[in-house]
Amino acid sequence: MHVVATAGHVDHGKSTLVRALTGMEPDRLAEERRRGLTIELGYAWTALPSGERVAFVDVPGHERFLGTMLAGVGPVPAVMFVVAADEGWMPQSEEHLVAVRTLGVRHGLLAVTRADLADPAPALEDARDRLAEAGLGGVEALAVSGRTGEGLDGLRAALDRLVAALPAPDPRAPVRLWIDRAFSVRGSGTVVTGTLPAGRVQVGDELELDGEPVRVRGLESLKEHVESVAGVARVALNLRGRIAPQRGHALVTPGAWTATSLADVRVTMAEGARGPLPARLTAHIGSASVPCEVRPLGAEAEGAAARLRLARPLPLHVGDALLLRDPGRGQGEPRVLARATVLDVRPPELRRRGAARERAKALADASADAASLLRTHLLLRDGELVAMGCPPEGRPVAAGWHADPDHWSGLSARLPEVVRRYAAEHPLEPGMPVEAARHELGLPDRRLVTALVRPPLTVTDGRITTTGRVVTGTAGLPAPVARAVRALLDDLATAPFQAPEAGRLAALGLGPRELAAAVRAGALLRVAEGIVLGPGADARAAALLARLPQPFTVSQARSALGTSRRVAVPLLEHLDRRGLTERVDEVHRRCRPAG
């Protein structure tokens, strides 16, 4: 099946033509018949000469119903553009053409109808030129009359050629069915209808509506019961679930879309519209129309990046196009203002000064693909990329994770340094816990850390170690610092637990930076602020303390270690932290058995 929407100025004969082609009444409302005016979307279908079936979504042409027109055309891949021979090109001919173009509809045909009322040639030529200018140059153009039936056989044949040339949508694509009607049927419950653009719906499927699960109880397409239907198709779904569906909401495959009220977009001004865009507009996609705020991110220019804040979340993919309409403008002024191509459905917060401009720059180079998303988000899970509309392209870096290549190589370069520093600061530990490295690198999953480990690093028992330990000692330090540290180590050789006093450190030129470097290099052990000892002093202290009767007091420890309270108290606390000693009560500690 195929679906074609009508388009064109009010009263130009769209509904008459649909009626003549299908034998069905697209104007179902009493008010429509009384006023001779389409108000709501109409649906009718027929079989073409080839046997292919085509369903029409007949839209209103009156300028007041532009929103309804957009809801009809939104999910449909092709249009039948209708122009009256006796009136020619009119304001809504132009507006509908701009809308069709802005929505990205590229397929269609031109029917110049009411050919029984006037010579169709001038209107046909003019309209054909305008369509060509709008990038629809290849469409067929025909003169017809919905009243006399003249030219209808030719139109049917042209529709056959049109639908045969339409790209076949992917039946495995995720479902997003924009609802255009919702009603209750006595005995069946809730029914919704819409144009399924791609993917497949089956009886029994579980879909989601605004995050709520719904079950497809029954399925109809063109009034026939079916078990399964693939897009493009008109469908009616009988649903079970605690839901109140409405036009403009969508039934979606769970997990396949990102429901968001925030999107970063690239704005392309519509034909005839000029910037800057007003801050408050209405965004249209599928059958949805949602008020939105537009925040330009960079310098305002055509093709500029902007952030849209939608009044309610919509299920979106990167690459979707939204049409931005000014609901406030009057007659004669352009109302279809721009196309907003979605570049990110989970845009990062812009907190710092200058963040918006930076973001605009990044978006200027972005395309609707996984690589661009990863440049912003750095790391994303398979499922996240799928829900954003950009299934992963490359291989995952770790179970289910994809990374921006630059970010990943940066992490890979940082890890050995992080592990080395940890080893220097924790000389008694057998390596850096993977969890500590995860935390240090700001990663969301430990498996990412494991994936970053390359020789000479290895993982054993949840810790990262360097095969062939790199402790540079004083050799890695600047010469004056190395000299000073060696002097300290000489002092400590005779009294290993008498940490140097502040005066001694100052005399040797060892300030906080020099001490930190020495600690990082593994040349000194930092026990507490301003208290340094030789490397391994804590292990030696623990060994000495183990010989004391257990438990022991600070003062017993102090004399066993031959030091002062100034050092003993922080050293014992350090040993507690390392798990080498533990407190028994307010005054007593004991050594803990190794392991």
Ligand X SMILES: Nc1nc2c(ncn2[C@@H]2O[C@H](COP(=O)(O)OP(=O)(O)OP(=O)(O)O)[C@@H](O)[C@H]2O)c(=O)[nH]1
**Beta carbon of residue 44, minimum distance to Mg ion (angstroms, whole number):** 11
**Residue among 178, 174, 171, 172 nearest 209 (CA):** 178
Note whether 22 binds Mg ion by CB under 5 A: no
Lookup: tokens for 306:
């902007």
Interaction of residue 376 with Mg ion, rule CB under 5 A = no
User: What three-state secondary structure class fits 7?
Assistant: strand
Contact letters for ligand X, residues 62-101 (x by CB under 6 A) = x---------------------------------------
Q: Which stretch binds ligand X (CB under 6 A): 55-63, 378-386, 563-571, 585-593?
A: 55-63
> For Mg ion, which residue of 2, 5, 8, 15 counts as binding (CB under 5 A)?
15
Among 2, 4, 5, 13, interactor with ligand X by CB under 6 A: 13
Q: Which is nearer to Mg ion, 67 or 400 (CB)?
A: 67
Query: Taking CB within 5 to 8 Å according to partner kind, which of Mg ion, ligand X, none is near residue 75?
Result: none
CA distances in angstroms from 486 to 203, 474, 513, 534, listed in the order given: 80, 8, 17, 10
Q: How many residues bind Mg ion (CB under 5 A)?
A: 3
Stretch that binds ligand X, among 95-103, 109-117, 380-388, 404-412 (CB under 6 A): 109-117
- For the CB of residue 59, give the shortest distance to ligand X in the complex, in Å: 7
What residues have CB less than 8 Å from 365, skipping those under 6 apart? 372
The distance of closest approach from Cβ of residue 54 to ligand X in the complex, given in angstroms and rounded to an integer, is: 18
Please check whether residue 190 is in contact with residue 249, taking contact to mean a CB–CB distance below 8 angstroms. Answer: no
- Residues 544-583 interacting with Mg ion (rule: CB under 5 A): none
Using a 10 angstrom Cβ sphere, with 0-12 exposed, 13-18 middle and 19 or more buried, the burial of residue 549 is exposed
| Euclidean distance between CA atoms 312 and 289, whole angstroms | 10
15 counts as binding ligand X under rule CB under 6 A: yes
**Interacting span for Mg ion (CB under 5 A) from 7-15, 207-215, 355-363, 434-442:** 7-15
Q: Does residue 156 belong to the site contacting ligand X (CB under 6 A)? A: no
Q: Among 11, 208, 264, 320, which residue sits at the site for ligand X (rule: CB under 6 A)?
A: 11
Count CB atoms within 10 A of the CB of residue 486. Answer: 14
Q: Which residue from 311, 306, 280, 284 is spatially nearest to 293, judged by alpha carbons?
A: 280
Q: Are strands 176-185 and 189-196 parallel, antiparallel or unpaired?
A: antiparallel
CB of 58 to Mg ion, least distance (A): 6
Question: Which residue's Cβ has the minimum distance to ligand X?
Answer: 61
Stretch that binds ligand X, among 14-22, 197-205, 228-236, 355-363 (CB under 6 A): 14-22
Q: What is the largest CA-CA distance in the chain?
A: 116
Residue 407 carries which side chain, given as an amino acid letter? H
* Start-to-end Cα distance in the chain: 71
Min dist. Cβ of residue 323 to Mg ion (A)? 21
Owner of token pair 């939104």: 74
Among 2, 7, 38, 379, binds ligand X (CB under 6 A): 38
Q: Are 179 and 249 in contact (CB under 8 A)?
A: yes
DSSP codes of every residue in 402-459: EE-HHHHHHHHHHHHHHHHHHHHH-TTSSSEEHHHHHHHHT-S-HHHHHHH--TTEEE
Taking CB under 5 A as the rule, which mask of x and - marks residues 33-62 in contact with Mg ion? -----x------------------------
Of residues 90, 117, 222, 539, which one binds ligand X by CB under 6 A? 117
36 binds, among Mg ion, ligand X, none (CB under 5 to 8 A by kind): ligand X
Please tell me whether residue 590 adopts helix, strand or coil conformation. strand
12 binds, among Mg ion, ligand X, none (CB under 5 to 8 A by kind): ligand X
Binding site for ligand X (CB under 6 A): 8, 10-16, 36-38, 60-62, 113-114, 116-117, 145-147
Interface with Mg ion (CB under 5 A): 14-15, 38
